[in-house]
Structure 1
Amino acid sequence: MTRTGTSGRAAGVDPEALWAPAARPRRGRPPAHSREAITAAAVALADAEGLGAVTMRAVAARIGAGTMSLYSYVPNKETLLELMIDEVSGAHRLPEPSGDWRADLRRLFHEQRAIMRRHPWLPAALPARQTFGPNTLAALEHALTVLAPAGLDARAGLEVFSLLSGFVASHVTHELAQEQAADTTGRAFHDAQTRYLRSPAVTDAYPAVAHALTEPDAATSPDATFDRLLDRMINGLTGAG
C-alpha cells in the first residue's frame, strides 16, 4: 500500500527520479525557485530551529513561495530530507589517500564529526535516510578506497564505514546533550555530582564504578576524547594493532 503524507501526496522516495541529472529547462519563463535553493533553505531552518521545524510550509515561507508550489520541485518531506542530508555531506574534503589508511580514515571521521556538530539535526536524520545521494556516495567511495590496504573485503569495508558513521552520530548526539546539560545546570551541579560519586554511599557499594567515573584523565577535552574513542573503534573493527 502506498503511504501518503499529511498533504495527501504519496510519501516515500524515488531514488532514480531524485538523483537523475536535472532535465534541460524548457523554453519560456524560468522557474521561480530551484531544488538547490529549497534544500539550502531547509538546511538553514534545521540549523536554526531543529529538524522538527522543517515543514513544507515553513520552507516555502522562508523562500517566499506558496506551500503547494514546492511540490513541483520536491514531492514530499521525505525527499527533502534526503536532499538535506546529501547537501551537508558535500562538505567532506576527500583528498587523495596518503598511504596511511588509519590516518586517512581518522581524518574522514573527524570531518564527519565536524559536519554533524555544525548541523546538530543530522545525527537524528540519518536513521530515516532511504537512499544515497552523490555526495554521500563520494564519501563512501573515499572510505572504501582508503580502507583497501587494510585487507578487508568489500562487504567488511561497507560494514566498517556504517559502524563508524553510527559511532560518530551517537557520540555527537551525546556531546551536544552534555553541553546543553552543562549550560543548563552549571558548575554547581557538576561539583555536587563529583562529591556524590566520591561519597561512601557510592564508593563502598560500587567501588569499580566510582573509581572509573572519578579517576582524573590527562586528556579530557572533547577532541581528545573523540580521538581516543575513534582509535579504539578503528582498531577493533579492522583488527589493527
Structure 2
Amino acid sequence: MPKQEKQEAGTNLDHSARGPKPAHSREKIARVAVELADERGLDAVSIRAVAQQIGAGAASIYRYVDSSDQLLDLMVDRVSGEYVFDELTGSPEGQLLELAAQGRAIMHAHPWLAPLVQTARVPGPHTLRYLESALNALTSTALSGTQKLQTIAMLTAITSAFVINELSQQNAQPRGVTEVQQALASGQYPLLTAAFLQGATTVDQDEVFGSLIGNYLRGAGVFEA
C-alpha cells in the first residue's frame, strides 16, 4: 500500500487503536444512568453521580458525554432499544397500537421516562429504528411524510400522558376523601354525584388505553371508523 494510502487508512481507525484503550463507553454510561434512574429517580442522575457509580472521575465521563442533556438523550435511546419490531404485522392501526402498548409498558418499567419523552430529545440509533418501524407501519396510508411524523409524535405524547396519569394515581395518597364524600352527600352537586355513582368500581386501563389510541388514529386518518 502506498504511504499516502496508509496514512489515509489510519485516519479512519477508531481512536482506541491508538493510545490507551478507553476505560468506558457511551453504552456503559447509559446503562448505569438508566439503572440509577430506575432505582432512585431521574433527579438522582447526573454525570457526577454516574461517574461515582462507575468508580471514575467526572472528568473521564466528559470524554464520552458532553452534557447532562446528552446523558438524558443516551438514556432515552437505551430504553428505546426495548421495543420489539420483528412481530409487527397486519394493518397500520394494529401495528401502531402494538407500538403504543409496548411504549406504555416500557414507560411503566422506567417511570422517569414518560415526562422525559415529552421534551425535545436528540434521537439515537434505537430511537431512529423505532421511527423507521412506525413509518413502515404507515406506508400503505394516504398520509404525507409530515403527517406520518406528526402522527407518530402524537402517539408518543398520548402514551406518555396516559402513563403519567396512571403513575400519579398509583402514587397518590388519599387526601380530602371525607370532605368530598360530605360535599356529595349534601345534595348540592347532583350531576357530579350521579357521575361518581355511574362510574365503574374498577376500570380496565388496557381497554381505556386501546380505545384512546384507536380514537386518535381514526381522527388522524390512519383508518376509518
User: TM-score normalised to the size of structure 1?
Assistant: 0.79
Residue 70 of structure 1 deviates from its aligned partner by 0.8
Query: Aligned partners of 1:226 and 1:194: how far apart in 2?
Result: 28
- Which residue of the partner structure matches residue 40 of structure 1? 31
Larger Cα-atom Rg? 2
Give yes or no for the alignment of 1:137 onto 2:128: yes
Query: Aligned partners of 2:117 and 2:67: how far apart in 1?
Result: 17
- Which residue of the partner structure matches residue 209 of structure 2? 226
- Which residue of the partner structure matches residue 185 of structure 1? 174
What count of residue pairs does the alignment treat as equivalent? Answer: 213
Alignment of 1:42-191 (within 5 A): 42-95=33-86, 97-181=88-172, 184-185=173-174, 189=177
For residue 240 of structure 1, what is the amino acid of its counterpart?
Answer: E
Residue 213 of structure 1 deviates from its aligned partner by 4.0
Contact 2:81/2:127 (8 A) holds in 1: yes
Contact 1:123/1:173 (8 A) holds in 2: yes
Residue 113 of structure 1 deviates from its aligned partner by 0.5
Query: Aligned partners of 2:184 and 2:107: how far apart in 1?
Result: 32
More off after superposition, 224-233 vs 95-104: 95-104
| Consecutive aligned runs of 4 or more in structure 1 exceeding 6 Å deviation | none
Residue 122 of structure 2 aligns to a residue whose secondary structure is: coil
Residue 25 of structure 1 aligns to a residue whose secondary structure is: helix
Gaps of 5+ in 2: 1-11
- Which residue of the partner structure matches residue 4 of structure 1? none
**Against the structure 1 CA distance between its residues 130 and 23, is the aligned structure 2 distance closer, same or farther, given a 3 Å change threshold?**
farther
Q: Percent identity?
A: 35
Query: Aligned partners of 1:80 and 1:138: how far apart in 2?
Result: 19
- Which residue of the partner structure matches residue 224 of structure 2? 240
For residue 201 of structure 1, what is the amino acid of its counterpart?
Answer: Q
User: TM-score normalised to the size of structure 2?
Assistant: 0.84
Gaps of 5+ in 1: 1-20
Cα deviations by residue, 1:133-169 (Å, 9 ceiling, x for unpaired):
1111111111111122232121111111111110111
RMSD, aligned CA: 2.5
Query: Aligned partners of 1:96 and 1:22: how far apart in 2?
Result: 37
Contact 1:101/1:146 (8 A) holds in 2: yes
**Against the structure 1 CA distance between its residues 71 and 195, is the aligned structure 2 distance closer, same or farther, given a 3 Å change threshold?**
same
Contact 1:197/1:214 (8 A) holds in 2: no
RCO comparison, higher one (Cα < 8 Å, 6+): 2
